[in-house]
Amino acid sequence: MNADLLAAPAQLLPAREQMALTLMFHIVFVPFGIALPTMMLIANYKGLKRNDTVALTLARRWSHAAGLTFAVGAASGTVLSFEMGLLWPGLTGKFGEVFGLPFAIEGVLFFLEAILVAIYIYGWRRLKPWTHFWLGMPIPFVAIGGAFSIISANAWMNMPAGFTIDANGQITDVDPIGAIFNKALPYEFGHFLVAAYMAAAFAVASIYVVGWLKGRRDRYHRLGILIPLTIATVLTPVQFVVGDLTAVAVFKDQPAKFAAMEVVTESGTHQPEVLFGRYDSATNTVEGGLSVPGLNSWLAGGSVDTYVPGLDQVPPENRPSNVTIVHWAFDIMVGVGTVLLLLAFWFFVAYWRRRDVPDNRVFLWFAASAGVLTYIAVEAGWIVTEVGRQPWIVYNIMRTEEAVTNTDAGTLWISFSLIALLYLSLAIGTITVLRAMSRRWRRSDQTDDELAVYGPRPSIEEVSS
Amino acid sequence: MSVTVAAILVLALTLYACTGIADYGAGFWDLTAGGRDRGRLPRSLIDNAVTPVWEANHVWLIYVLVLCWTGFGSTFASVMSTLYIPLALALLGIVLRAAGFAMSKDAARARMRHLAGWLFGVGSFLTPFCLGTAVGAVLTGRIPVGNAAGDEITSWLNPSSILAGLLTVAVGAYVSAVYLLAEAHRHGTAALHGYFRFRARAAGVTGLLLGLGLLLALHVDERQMFDRVVQRGWPLLLLSLALLAGSFRLAAGVRVWRMRLVAAGGIAALVGAWAVAQYPYLLPFSLTVQDGAAGPATLRWLLIWFVGALVLVVPALILLFWLDQKGELGEDPATSRIPAQGGSVQEGSSVQEGSVQEGSAQA
């Protein structure tokens, strides 16, 4: 533990730990909330257009998974909105009027999404097929709008805008629209949206690839792989471009975060790209790691002569508190992204040639692990953004310890332990339910009932026979 | 403008009380429905009634929170930091409930489902109770402005706040019993009619006693607020009483929608009485709505967005409730766990019919 963390109030650590835990949990469900509706509607459309019951079955099952992840996401999202006040009253009390509007927008869009998802999930049996499809159609757009709002609020914390601070330290000239469209919004939103689609698509595909590997090579599994994997294949190269733009923007906007991401200690040109290694905050040096000369400067500015400011330019008390974590998270994110790009390319070439799921076992194992890999990248990316911003909760304006609650540290540790326990059981519960769902689906694959997606409900006699 | 935003806040709170808190009431009846066999029929009705709409109902709370920290940031910060313990417990209840929901959805084994039911029930008591004590703490002027400036324990652990918490639970239980009575009527399950009528009566009487108790406690505890409640709030209190009593009388009849609207109106009047008594204070008696409000630009945009929200959400919400009441929405037979109704299922209640089998097969 370094010096400035020890000087901070005792409740800061449990507050940060609790926030980190709840955010990292919530973010698992976010990609599904954003991207699963798109996939289910694609399957739904395919099914209706070609009278394809397999595609319709997929769509209906995905809608149930979406409903479950949506419910858990709603609960963990509620936790976050409580925590904004429970843990960080200094932030919401002072800046709520500046960056609160996107949360209000998100609240309403989330509301709309909850309503539409409920109609879609519970409407399969009795609504007319095309009516049902069109009622589901707005869901992906509403979800994207919600993501836009939340990312806008987060981007504001990185690039605060839309207010001025007068001589007395009071907030004046509040402009909520200026706060929403802050400088970091375009790249943060672009980067996250593509990441969310990739994460959900790779995760869904990998589930069906596992079934494929176990020999379930039917049309159901083929579609279950091809729809999401096509989405992922299109988006992965896009993410490389967007990710690079994001890194360059962070280099310009938040030099201290960039220095931590790339673990640049001394400012200068011809900066090497250091892979992994360990940062020593006492001496401001890096131990170990693999160094590629000049690459960092070249990536940041297109030439080895690019000057990259290092951590030496930041006063020690303002340096990110966990440089090693930020740096490793960044390297992991980029590393995983590169691996996934290879996978996407492989799938593209193989599909081009055979018009089917590739038969190569190495490919299949690779694709089966892509779901977990992409989630590792999402979590790592979130760590880069959030931990990399420290010690600022509002970049260069408010320190995290100024925002934390004055509630007793002991109380916070108790609530953190409770939340941790509870989330563990929630995670186990969710996984159990999803597994039970898939087992039941597999059982019912042998019956015809499941394939009658639309139409009146079967009567009691039919179901029980 | 700040008063308009405060009015929207009260409106959102009212809607949450009429929908979300009522869902917790349903959870309370689920918890107290008795053993596995005895409780099967009411639980199936509760599950069927709450499942498609609870998430939409729950979002009002999130809207209240974000409206609060955007429009009245310092108040939000003061309330949340002083009332850390009850609000964290309310949050615990929300997560427990969600965990119960997630587990029960497809829990194959009876023991797992039993546990899920418990989580659901405990959460259903904890959350409204804690939210009610928080309201009690604000009402009795125990929240000073500042970061955890009030007492962390006595602010909510006092007779007035506890009575307010219990009253919230009772109100939720009453409203949900009335709603469920209407649902029982809609599904033609005559056996549950008397069942929920009795519970509505019990919750109504309990709520009345708790309400009187709260007034008495307020008289002793914070005389100034008592006077305001009685002097300004009395028309609304009387209206609330009349509507709630009316909803109960209607419960005997067949006008399902009217009964529910009247009950909801009674709750709205009750929330209104609180708001009127507290006006113009956000935090009695130290911070007024005007002083605690955000700047004009923020308030203006909140109002603009409120209109946008109305345009977006109201049609969707009407569609949801309309489809739900028409019986167009329902569980898949494959995923539902609603047990059989015996011979009492009537024409038009196919939502339950179709989903009968799975539940009874697993039970």
Is pLDDT above 80 for B36?
no
Q: How far is B48 from chain A (nearest CA, A)?
A: 11
CA distance A102 to A177: 9
Angle of the B159-187 helix axis to the B190-221 helix axis, nearest 10: 160
> What pLDDT shows up at residue B252?
63
Inter-chain touch B356–A84, beta carbons under 8 Å: no
What percentage of residues in chain A have a pLDDT greater than 70? 94
Whether A93 contacts chain B with CB within 8 A:
yes
CB B70 to CB A425 under 8 A?
no
CA distance A82 to chain B (A): 7
- A257 Cβ contact list (under 8 Å, min separation 6): A158, A250, A320, A326, A384, A388, A389
Q: Which of residues 317-356 of B touch A (CB under 8 A)?
A: 317, 319-320, 323-324, 327-335, 350, 353-356
Q: In this model, does residue A460 exceed pLDDT 70?
A: no
Whole-complex ipTM: 0.83
**Cβ contacts (< 8 Å) between A437 and chain B: which residues?**
106, 335
Q: What is the pLDDT of residue B349?
A: 34
B104 pLDDT tier (thresholds 50, 70, 90): low
Tokens of A372: 């977990």
Average pLDDT value over all residues in chain A: 86
Provide the token pair at A122: 């519970």
Predicted local distance difference test score (pLDDT) of residue A457: 40
Could you tell me the pLDDT band of residue A454, with boundaries at 50, 70 and 90?
A: low
Q: Give the pLDDT of residue B339.
A: 35
CB contact under 8 A, A122 and B101: no
Which CATH number does B2-321 carry?
Answer: 1.20.1630.10
Q: What phi and psi, each to the nearest 5 degrees, are found at residue B144?
A: -80, 160
- Residue-wise pLDDT tens digits, B252-303: 666 667 778 888 898 899 899 888 988 888 888 888 888 888 888 889 998 9
Look-up: residue for tokens 């290092």?
A310
Torsions phi, psi for A184 (to 5 deg): -85, -15
Cβ-defined contact of A422 to B55 (cutoff 8 Å): no
pTM: 0.85
Pick from A84, A97, A435, A447 the residue to mutate for testing the B interface (most B CBs within 10 Å): A97
Pick from A208-217, B115-124, B194-203: least confident: B115-124
- The set of residues, in sequence order, having a beta carbon less than 8 Å from that of A320 and lying 6+ positions away, is A256, A257, A260, A326, A387, A388, A389, A390, A391
pLDDT in tens, A112-137: 888 898 888 888 878 888 988 999 99
With bands split at pLDDT 50, 70 and 90, how would you rate the model's confidence at A185? very high
A223 Cβ contact list (under 8 Å, min separation 6): A43, A46, A54, A55, A58
> What residues does each domain of chain B span?
2-321
Q: Tell me the nearest-neighbour CA distance from A403 into chain B, angstroms.
A: 9
| A79 and chain B in contact, CB less than 8 A | yes
Quick one: average pLDDT of A12-33? 91
Interface test with A, best of B8, B19, B55, B283 (most A CBs within 10 A): B55
CB contact under 8 A, B77 and A437: no
Q: How far is A415 from chain B (nearest CA, A)?
A: 7
pLDDT confidence bin for A459, thresholds 50/70/90: very low
At B251 the pLDDT is 64
- Cβ neighbours of B320 in A, within 8 Å: 115, 118-119
Residue A311: Cβ within 10 Å count: 23
Could you tell me whether strands A164-165 and A278-280 are parallel, antiparallel, or unpaired per DSSP bridges?
unpaired
> CB A433 to CB B67 under 8 A?
no
pLDDT reading at A373 higher than 90: yes
Q: Shortest CA distance to A176 belongs to which of A160, A162, A158?
A: A162
Asked if residue A412 has pLDDT above 60, the reply is: yes
Q: Which residue has the tokens 């997630």?
A: B102
The confidence score (pLDDT) of residue B351 equals 35
Instruction: Out of A71-85, A354-368, B206-220, B284-298, give the one with best mean pLDDT.
Output: B206-220
pLDDT of residue B137: 92
Enumerate residues 6+ apart whose C-beta is below 8 A from A464. B357, B361
B134 and chain A in contact, CB less than 8 A: no
* Distance between CA atoms of residues B16 and A162, nearest Å: 32
pLDDT over 90, % of chain B: 20
Closest CA to B82 of B2, B172, B164, B161: B161
Q: Are the Cβ atoms of B73 and A101 closer than 8 angstroms? A: no
Long-range CB contacts for residues B245-252, cutoff 8 Å, separation at least 24? B247/B178, B248/B178, B248/B200, B248/B201, B248/B204, B251/B178, B251/B181, B251/B182, B251/B197, B251/B200, B252/B197
- Contact (CB<8Å) A74/B98: yes
- Sign (positive/negative) of CA torsion A125, A126, A131, A132? negative
Is pLDDT above 60 for B344?
no
Q: What pLDDT does B213 receive?
A: 93
Amino acid identity, residue A131?
Answer: T
Determine the Cα–Cα distance for residues B241 and A236; give it in Å rounded to an integer: 61
* CA pseudo-torsion sign A368, A372, A376, A378: positive
Q: Which H or E element spans position A355? A: none
Residue in A89, A106, A176 closest to B77 by CB: A89
| Beta carbons within 10 angstroms of residue A428's beta carbon | 12
Q: Please compute the mean of the pLDDT values over residues B158-163 and round it to a whole number.
A: 93
Q: Longest C-alpha distance within chain A, in Å?
A: 79
pLDDT for the residue B108? 57
Residue of chain B nearest A177, judged by CA positions: B301
Distance CA B6, CA A146 (A): 24
Is B152 within 8 Å of A407 when comparing Cβ atoms? yes
Contacts of B91 in chain A (CB under 8 A): 78-79, 82, 86
Q: Do A85 and B353 touch (CB under 8 A)?
A: no
In this predicted structure, the answer to whether residue A246 has a pLDDT above a threshold of 70 is yes
A114 to chain B, closest Cα gap in Å: 5
- Could A103 and B301 be called an inter-chain contact, meaning their C-beta atoms sit closer than 8 Å? no
Q: Which pLDDT band, with edges at 50, 70 and 90, does A177 fall under?
A: very high
Query: Is residue B194 within 8 Å of residue B167, measured between CB atoms?
Result: no
Give me the half-sphere count of Cα atoms (radius 13 Å) on the Cβ side of residue A299: 22
Q: Is the pLDDT of residue A413 over 90?
A: yes
Using the beta-carbon criterion (under 8 Å), do A460 and B301 form an inter-chain contact?
A: no
Q: How many CB pairs under 8 A join A and B?
A: 275
Q: What local confidence, expressed as pLDDT, does residue A268 receive?
A: 82
- Which of A178-192, A432-446, B49-63 is the least confident region? A432-446
What SS3 string covers chain B? CHHHHHHHHHHHHHHHHHHHHHHHHHHHHHHCCCCCCCCHHHHHHHHHHHCCCHHHHHHHHHHHHHHHHHHCHHHHHHHHHHCHHHHHHHHHHHHHHHHHHHHHHHCCCHHHHHHHHHHHHHHHHHHHHHHHHHHHHHHCCCCCCCCCCCCCCCCCCCHHHHHHHHHHHHHHHHHHHHHHHHHHHHHCCHHHHHHHHHHHHHHHHHHHHHHHHHHHHHHHHCHHHHHHHHHHHHHHHHHHHHHHHHHHHHCCCCCHHHHHHHHHHHHHHHHHHHHHHHCCEEECCCEEHHHHCCCHHHHHHHHHHHHHHHHHHHHHHHHHHHHHHCCCCCCCCCCCCCCCCCCCCCCCCHHHHHCHHHHHHHC
B112, burial (CB in 10 Å: exposed 0-12, middle 13-18, buried 19+): middle
Residue among B62, B297, B332 whose CB faces A110 most closely:
B62
Task: Give residue A53's pLDDT.
Answer: 86
Cross-chain residue pair A114–B55, CB shorter than 8 Å: yes
- Whether residue A28 contacts residue A430, with contact meaning beta carbons closer than 8 Å, is answered with no
Mean pLDDT of A139-145: 94
Q: Which of A22, A122, A156, A437 is the best substitution to test chain B (most B C-beta atoms within 10 A)?
A: A122
Q: pLDDT-based confidence at A201, cuts 50/70/90? A: very high
**Residue type for A437, please?**
M
Mean pLDDT confidence for B133-143: 91
DSSP-derived pairing of the beta strands B281-283 and A164-165 = unpaired
Nearest CA in chain B to A120: B329
- Helix H, strand E, coil C: the string for A75-132 is HHHHHHHHHHHHCCHHHHHHHHHHHCHHHHHHHHHHHHHHHHHHHHHHCCCCCCHHHH
The answer on pLDDT for B165 being more than 90 is yes
Average pLDDT over every residue of A310-320: 85
Residue A422 touches partner B, C-beta closer than 8 Å = yes
- pLDDT value at A106 more than 70: yes
Containing A61, the helix (H) or strand (E) segment is helix A53-86
How far apart are the C-alpha atoms of A149 and A384, rounded to whole Å? 20
Nearest chain B residue to A139 by CA: give it.
B316
Q: Could you give the CA distance from residue A265 to residue A281 in angstroms, rounded to a whole number?
A: 10
On chain B, the residues whose CB falls within 8 A of the CB of A463 are: 333, 354, 356-358
Pairwise pLDDT comparison (B325 vs B45), residue with the higher score: B45
What is the chain A residue with the closest CA to B55? A114
Stretch B348-354: mean pLDDT, rounded? 34
Q: In the prediction, which pLDDT does A287 show?
A: 83
Please report which confidence band the pLDDT of residue B330 belongs to, taking 50, 70 and 90 as the band edges.
low
Q: Is A89 on the interface with B (CB under 8 A)?
A: yes
Contacts of A417 (CB under 8 A, 6+ apart): none
Say whether B330 and A125 touch across the interface (CB within 8 A).
yes
Instruction: Give the per-residue pLDDT at A181.
Output: 94
Q: Does B157 touch chain A (CB under 8 A)?
A: no
Nearest to B72, CA basis, from A287, A388, A98, A93: A93
Residues of A in contact with B71 (CB under 8 A): 97, 100
Are B354 and A405 inside 8 Å of each other by CB?
A: no
Alpha helices (H) in A304-360, listed in sequence order: 323-354
Instruction: Give phi and psi for A279, each to the nearest 5.
Output: -90, 135
Residue B234 touches chain A, beta carbons under 8 Å: no
Please provide residue A281's backbone torsions phi and psi, each rounded to the nearest 5 degrees.
-70, -25
What confidence tier does B210 reach under pLDDT thresholds 50, 70, 90?
very high
* Residue B96 pLDDT level (bands cut at 50, 70, 90): confident
